[in-house]
Structure 1
């Protein structure tokens, strides 16, 4: 690790202090939330919660520190909780170090803004985020390389608050094959051990980017419900990042939830819009049932100026870098943005909800789709 990066020793010292102080504060908030009317004992987590199964707040690629306006956007969005990626998704030999640095950065943001942000490890923390009107962050992996070649870093990552772990990104890793891997070999022996370890530690298994066999085998092997935190429906648009009806149904039958993203893969070509999100949501509801579908935007909250030359240049650079690393999916292009222009506002969740309501979806169903289902799944798995 270069001198410009946080060292492991300094990180552990810093993170331990944050974790201890955070647990104390959150425990107090959680107890207060438990005493509040309509909380755990007598109410439901699906009452008005907005839970983004994969996303973030701030700019398109979160480049801390967060500004005051970005934090206010997060609060104005109505988000109760967002599962935010904290790992290096590549198979880099430095994945552990890069992941430790990203976790450190996010912990510092939470510590700097305790009145607005909090770390969510379990259902009590989720209730506290709602009760105190803060945005809760669930730390999530979109790959497993940072866990180490023998899962030796699993306990470290769990101790630092990681509660959602995706088995693979788009390509193959030591746990299994991703959705772009032509071999489609499924879970490895280490991958099976990882699923068992996640079950034992009450970590939510995520199969969003996993290949078809990896997805099916993980759902079958897991003793707990499994999430597809951010995806689309292959029956609507046939794309390797979208899940087939068979996979969606298996996830639902096991008690899991599939989150629909706002990504370019919702369309065969051209810029995706809110109507595309709705088409995939409605198909997923028909396949899975309304208790097993949610939102996993795979994006951020603040408005992005897609006409800003600086943003366009940065976005094109990122697309090119992903292609060079071999982790880019078909459809990733410099002229198709990973957001819906008509949902490009902090009020995107309210706008989407209103569009769905106008199509005849009931308030009870909308409560489930906008966050209740993911909240229930998180509580069931993570405690």
Structure 2
């Protein structure tokens, strides 16, 4: 059994706090316990149908508002790069969407916007970009100016990389053709971490290499998160995080959002809600109950193609096979196992949060821990960082 060594100035402080203290920003709210706990999703997207927001029952969510360019890499695989120009346009479009629906949305700029959204029966939305490729230029000054431009437009969470590395960070799927690489945070990456800390922006290590995530946890003076991921000890795939990364994130006071992509949740032929709960249980054991959070990584209503197929995974998985096989050809960890599914049918649904709540209850998690997992932990971190 591995002994966990924690950062006494961060994680031990959290463990010394009771549930009421952890969720103290919401202690004065009208009792939501009569209807539901605080529901916060760690990663989704602004829907085309505004009615999906109400139907989701979310009090807040982190929304990827970036736009991409498809880039063919030298080995023939595809990466999706978030450029500055594409993302500055996409964030303006997202702002227009939020502003057009004040009866539904509240733009999330600081953590306190969550409680204001609850009081006003809105859903707080915090803008995120999946990849620091959007920060361009040759100098730290260029990077600072572009980061400031994004913050002025409402960006509050920046993911360091998406699958593959960039000038700042190593990617989870980086490979040299023979063995998986584990690239560290670069010198430019360290400078970017300093800038994000200074600007009170939340750092996301989803899709990062394990070493980059560990380096980021050590370098950051504020909590970091993995908005969406899974545990490698359950599914041995490069996209899933080893326990040392889960612990490192927890030690910063951050959270780890367990996502819905089922081929990274189980290698069983039929994915179930129990597979999702298994990852929550594991994160809780490794990182503590303060580290567990919920993420989606699909649209609010669910993965569109699978919904059209009535969640027929055997058909739906076909759209992923070409990409999956390109990773296998490069010997990326875990891609030798053929995926058989994409979604857990029970969770590929607009009502997923209450279904997770019910499953946690059946798994005998106490109510205070369920409240943390479903939204309390996200609320705490967003309050800690976004000030």
The partner residue of 1:156 within 149, 154, 160 is 149
The partner residue of 2:43 within 54, 59, 65 is 54
Aligned: 1:177 with 2:170: yes
Write the mapping of 1:54-203 to structure 2, written as runs, cut at 5 A.
54-58=43-47, 66-67=48-49, 71-88=50-67, 95-149=83-137, 150=139, 151=143, 152-182=145-175, 183-203=181-201
Structure that is richer in helix per residue: 1
Aligned: 1:341 with 2:315: no
Question: In structure 2, what is the equivalent of residue 352 of structure 1?
Answer: 356
Q: Residues 368 and 89 (structure 1 numbering): CA distance in 2 closer, same or farther, change over 3 Å?
A: farther
Question: In structure 2, what is the equivalent of residue 34 of structure 1?
Answer: none
Structure 1: how far apart are the matches of 2:165 and 2:317? Answer: 25
TM-score between the two structures when normalised by the length of structure 1: 0.78
More displaced, 236-245 or 370-379?
236-245
Q: What is the RMSD of the two structures over their aligned residues, measured on CA atoms?
A: 3.2
Shift of 1:109: 1.5
Question: In structure 1, what is the equivalent of residue 264 of structure 2?
Answer: 265
Structure 2: how far apart are the matches of 1:293 and 1:254? Answer: 13
Shift of 1:331: 8.6
Structure 2: how far apart are the matches of 1:89 and 1:239? Answer: 25
Number of aligned residue pairs: 335
Question: In structure 2, what is the equivalent of residue 292 of structure 1?
Answer: 291
* Equivalent pair of 2:82/2:130 in contact (CA under 8 Å): no
Task: Give the gaps of 5 or more residues in structure 1.
Answer: 1-37, 59-65
* Equivalent pair of 1:168/1:210 in contact (CA under 8 Å): yes
Structure 2: how far apart are the matches of 1:178 and 1:253? Answer: 22
User: Which string of whole-angstrom CA distances, capped at 9 and with x for unpartnered residues, describes residues 42-63 of structure 1?
Assistant: 54899721111111353xxxxx
* Equivalent pair of 1:205/1:227 in contact (CA under 8 Å): yes
Structure 1: how far apart are the matches of 2:254 and 2:53? Answer: 27
Q: Residues 77 and 331 (structure 1 numbering): CA distance in 2 closer, same or farther, change over 3 Å?
A: farther
Tell me the SS of whatever aligns to 1:139: strand
Question: In structure 1, what is the equivalent of residue 15 of structure 2?
Answer: none
Question: In structure 2, what is the equivalent of residue 364 of structure 1?
Answer: 368
Structure 1: how far apart are the matches of 2:310 and 2:295? Answer: 27
* Equivalent pair of 1:265/1:331 in contact (CA under 8 Å): no
Shift of 1:76: 2.4
Q: Residues 44 and 210 (structure 1 numbering): CA distance in 2 closer, same or farther, change over 3 Å?
A: farther
Aligned: 1:243 with 2:241: yes
Structure 2: how far apart are the matches of 1:188 and 1:241? Answer: 20
User: Which string of whole-angstrom CA distances, capped at 9 and with x for unpartnered residues, describes residues 201-230 of structure 1?
Assistant: 000111111001101000000001110111
Question: In structure 1, what is the equivalent of residue 308 of structure 2?
Answer: 308
Structure 2: how far apart are the matches of 1:284 and 1:94? Answer: 30
User: Which string of whole-angstrom CA distances, capped at 9 and with x for unpartnered residues, describes residues 150-193 of structure 1?
Assistant: 41411111111111111111111010110111332211111000
Question: In structure 2, what is the equivalent of residue 21 of structure 1?
Answer: none
